Amino acid sequence: MSLNINTTIQQMLNAMKTEAAGGWDKIKDASNSFLQAHKQRLQQLADQRLNNEIDDDFLKARLADEEDILKAELIAEKIITESAAQQAINAAFSVLETAILNAL
């Protein structure tokens, strides 16, 4: 199977919007910019997992790295608290991980 990264990124942003609630306006631009800038990397990870080039543990570790980078960017810009950033990011990357695993 394959994964449509554009659809998945939109779903990730929707999950962040839901989780961030009133804080969405503060993180929307930075989150969208991050996901667009990292789209190729996220697609590569998805493709590698779908082609059995990496296993679930490796995928989860790399996605955790991407989460940490996004969290650092949001906090560095002082646009959101660490706790709020983590909740929104967890929601977004849960969508990505689920999409990849469902595509297997």
pLDDT of residue 83: 78
Q: What does the chain look like in DSSP terms, one character per residue?
A: ----HHHHHHHHHHHHHHHHGGGHHHHHHHHHHHHHHTHHHHHHHHHHHHTTSS-HHHHHHHHHHHHHHHHHHHHHTTSS-HHHHHHHHHHHHHHHHHHHHHH-
**pLDDT tens digits, one per residue of 33-87:** 999 999 999 999 999 999 999 999 999 999 999 999 998 888 877 666 777 788 8
pLDDT of residue 50: 95
Per-residue pLDDT band for 23 (boundaries 50, 70, 90) equals: confident
pLDDT average, residue stretch 10-17: 95
For the entire predicted model, the pTM comes to: 0.83
